[in-house]
Structure 1
Amino acid sequence: MPNQENNQDWSNYEEVVDKFIQVIAKNMNLYGITPSVGRLYGTLFFSEYPMTLDDMRDALEMSKTSMSTGVRSLSEMKMVEPAFRKGIRKDLYKSEEDWYKSFTSLFGNRWRHHTETNIEEAEEAIQELEQIQVQTDDNGLKDKITSDIERLRYAQGYYRWLMRFIQVVESGEIFKYVPRDEKN
């Protein structure tokens, strides 16, 4: 009988862990990471040992190609790193367990790309509006374009500020202002 009770304990344990892995996957979706890649990260996070692509495939019942793509994505975001275990020739991976480091990398990568794009798009819009403004004889349109260019310059100022904020996050300087919770 104790064996059956023990099995139920393990089953309860797995249920709790699986539930939290779903929470991780859902939260990572906020950063543009697919739920399946989020589950992969959660699985690696709770794994006691580094895992091969075959281990991940078996754990998540997904294709090895999906695992490889997911690991590559997580690796680019510095959320997964290669690992070594004596006697194993296959590539092994483990999760980055410093979530503060993962967040700063993920946040920086995602926001930097979008912010840089927005700065460029605003500049293109300004140039195109200036061209229209020079060509038109319509004074109402000229005034509207002047007003819109001012709005776009304001937006660019915001995006430049956001780039400085991203640098504060990426550099870790953010922790001077919002300290890490080191209680655990």
Structure 2
Amino acid sequence: MDENKQPSAELEINQAEEIVIHSIAETMDLYGITSSIGRLYAIMYFKQHPMTLDEMKDEVGMSKPSMSTAVRQLQEINIVKKIWQKGSRKDHFVAEKNFFNYFSQFFGTKWKREAELNLFAIEQAEHRLQAVMEDEKNEESLKERAEQDLQQLDGYRKYCYWLQKLVNSMESGEIFDLLPMDNSNSKK
């Protein structure tokens, strides 16, 4: 056997990991995380030990400042955490390996912000529309338009409240009572 070749099993593992790393990076790109940052997360996912910025830089091929920015972004969405390592002065980081936690953190944060921003906007808009409807100087067609907008905003508010319930159910874990984490569709 050629000494420069990796053993076949190690090569298979590396290729299997690379397939999933590529897939995670691509799917994270769908949700606004650049594929390079998604790739970093996916590489960290397969590591069985915490990684330093230098190790990440070598593994991913990004500059250390870019790596630092990427790790900070992953920390902001709570899917990478800094941990303390005894005897080391460097920062060490680990990736969230539980995709149910990852999902809850990633989407919960975004959905909570969406609901809050939109409920605030709806409230502001309602005050203005109500003022248009109550002002006797306004034409009837404008009052009707304001009334239609108010009715539409009521539907939008219901969506935002539902979204808040969804986030709350994810934070409490209640969602998993409704949608259990089972393997019923997995390969045996």
Same fold (TM over 0.5): yes
**2:21 aligned residue:** 21
The structure whose RCO (Cα within 8 Å, separation 6+) is larger is 1
Distance 1:182 1:137, change over 3 A: closer
The 2-side partners of 1:2 and 1:48 are apart by 29
- Look up the match of 1:133: 133
1:143 pairs with 2:144: yes
Q: Which residue number in structure 2 is paired with residue 81 of structure 1?
A: 81
For normalisation by structure 2, the TM-score amounts to 0.86
Residue range with higher mean Cα deviation, 75-84 or 17-26: 75-84
State the one-letter code of the partner of 1:19: I
- Residues of 1 paired with 2:63 and 2:5: CA distance? 34
> 1:38 maps to what in 2?
38
Secondary structure of residue in 1 paired with 2:133: helix
Per mean C-alpha deviation after superposition, the further-off stretch among 169-178 and 23-32 is 23-32
Task: Spell out, residue by residue over 1:70-101, the C-alpha distance to the aligned partner (whole angstroms, 9 max, x if none).
Answer: 21121222211123444322111111111111
Choose between structure 1 and 2: higher helix proportion. Answer: 1
1:182–1:94 CA distance, 2 compared to 1 (3 A): farther
State the shift of 1:2 in Å.
Answer: 5.1
Which stretches in structure 2 are left out of the alignment for 5+ residues? none
| 1:81 aligned counterpart, secondary structure | strand
2:132–2:138 Cα contact (<8 Å) kept: no
| 1:121 Cα deviation from its structure 2 partner | 1.6
Structure 1: gaps spanning 5 or more residues:
none
Whether the 8 Å CA contact 1:31–1:110 is kept in 2: the answer is no
What does residue range 28-67 of structure 1 map to in structure 2 within 5 Å? Answer: 28-67=28-67
Identity of aligned residues (%): 35
**1:32-91 per-position Cα deviation (integer Å, ceiling 9, x unaligned):** 222121111111111132110011111111111121112112122221112344432211
RMSD, aligned α-carbons: 2.2
Size of the aligned set, in residue pairs, is: 184
1:120-179 deviation line (CA, Å, top 9, x unaligned): 122222222223334443112212211221211221122112211111012111111111
TM-score normalised to the size of structure 1?
0.88
Contact 1:31 1:107 in 2 (8 A): no
